[in-house]
Structure 1
């Protein structure tokens, strides 16, 4: 009797463990396939058959199906009758190796256009004044732009610039020129360094509407404080990227 009870209790535990292991393997496989999906490895944008994927990665068919379900939930692939599983979403690679404007970073991937939604002087809120090292409530130039790549909304950029340079930005072509290029031209010196923070945040109603993203969808928030070569902070930006259209990449060196 005790042995029978032990088997009764251990059987559900073993089954749950198998399900958990399969879910873990599906997640691992999805990570490997995602990279190939985003880098265009699959010929013609069509993934191999489930059996072929299972053979290549030594995974069961159920595990492969779970992995593909995860990628479908991310809207990266979809099943098309008579064709198979196809790639339906392209993400653009945004390099983090160099300090560049968006048009400079993505010039090989298409045309970046800017819709200037707001440009005006505003009193600097305390956090902005502190980061730009100017007195609180001193005017700064506030710029809000919707950035599109190949006509599709990609990012919503909120920018603060000290007014001694910002006043001259007012007469510049902000629709067709990266702010970085204008800052270097107006200041007479190159940009030097930038401090960045990258995190995922939920899109607020305004951002979601502008980016044509679902309300509450996760967006990539890049906060960047850029300095001139002399160390002066000159540009504070809060950039919300559509996470389904951008991926961040970089080359890191281990300090010795």
Structure 2
């Protein structure tokens, strides 16, 4: 396929008196604004995008540089180019552990109630973050964690089914998610991107955490990556602020 045909299919109009790199940055800006590219979405590699758009890598680089200056994109060395979050994210260094592991390390007894565990066609933002192809499926796992005081956390996890065949049959009342991924499926979890923010508990979140509607909760969003840089899991976690505090141990050097 010729360069002109590729550009036409990508929406680039060379006859317009608008620079091609500006057209590309406008397309990317629209994808971010519409939510098609959600926060923390990783763009395809520069060679892939340039080929897909039918433009040179230099032209593509000018387009992405514009959005980086605007604060809509950011580059992470060795990882790629990501859509930035709409909120400020301090670079907090901490151990990649789960609530189950943290509770166990502290000797806190908890119970886990599995509310839902089923394969679904993922919503577009989650499919984008997990790089799930059209027609692919993910496990949606909904759990409530409780201590003797009552519910402390509500977790929604979305896991790529193509890398975890049969995961929907696992009993997650007794098994941890990361332990299952690493043990049963021999996947090597390497890193994750976590974002914390304050939210108001509404609807099912308030119901499952046994809070009045509108009560403040701590919200955690996470994308987990394997050692080969493939995303494996996305999670939404709501934490009962009155029963559980999230603490980070920081080191200046």
Specify the alignment match of 1:104 in structure 2.
101
Question: Judging changes above 3 Å, is the alpha-carbon distance between structure 1 residues 209 and 191 closer, same or farther for their aligned structure 2 residues?
Answer: same
Q: Is the 8 A contact 2:199 2:216 kept in 1?
A: yes
Specify the alignment match of 2:191 in structure 1.
193
The Cα shift of 1:188 comes to 1.2
Specify the alignment match of 2:56 in structure 1.
none
Specify the alignment match of 1:239 in structure 2.
237
Determine whether 1:251 maps to 2:249.
yes
Which of the two has greater helix per residue? 1
The 5-angstrom pairing of residues 120-131 of structure 1 reads 120-131=118-129
- 1:114 aligns with one of 112, 137, 153: 112
Question: Judging changes above 3 Å, is the alpha-carbon distance between structure 1 residues 154 and 115 closer, same or farther for their aligned structure 2 residues?
Answer: same
The Cα shift of 1:96 comes to 7.3
1:145-172 CA distances to partner (integer Å, 9 max, x unpaired)? 1111236201110110111244422222
Larger-gyration structure (1/2): 1
Question: TM-score, with normalisation over the residues of structure 1?
Answer: 0.59
Q: Is the 8 A contact 1:161 1:234 kept in 2?
A: yes
The 5-angstrom pairing of residues 45-194 of structure 1 reads 97-107=94-104, 108-150=106-148, 152-194=150-192
Question: Judging changes above 3 Å, is the alpha-carbon distance between structure 1 residues 199 and 248 closer, same or farther for their aligned structure 2 residues?
Answer: same
1:175-215 CA distances to partner (integer Å, 9 max, x unpaired)? 01210100111331331101000001011121111110111
Question: TM-score, with normalisation over the residues of structure 2?
Answer: 0.59
Is there any run of 5+ residues in structure 1 with no aligned partner, and where? 1-94
**Aligned-partner Cα distance in 1 for 2:163–2:146:** 25
Specify the alignment match of 1:48 in structure 2.
none
Which of the two has greater strand per residue? 1
The alignment yields a C-alpha RMSD, in angstroms, of 2.0
The Cα shift of 1:126 comes to 1.1
Question: Judging changes above 3 Å, is the alpha-carbon distance between structure 1 residues 137 and 124 closer, same or farther for their aligned structure 2 residues?
Answer: farther
How many matched pairs? 161
1:95-145 CA distances to partner (integer Å, 9 max, x unpaired)? 972111212111224112211101111111111011101124521111111
Question: Judging changes above 3 Å, is the alpha-carbon distance between structure 1 residues 175 and 153 closer, same or farther for their aligned structure 2 residues?
Answer: same
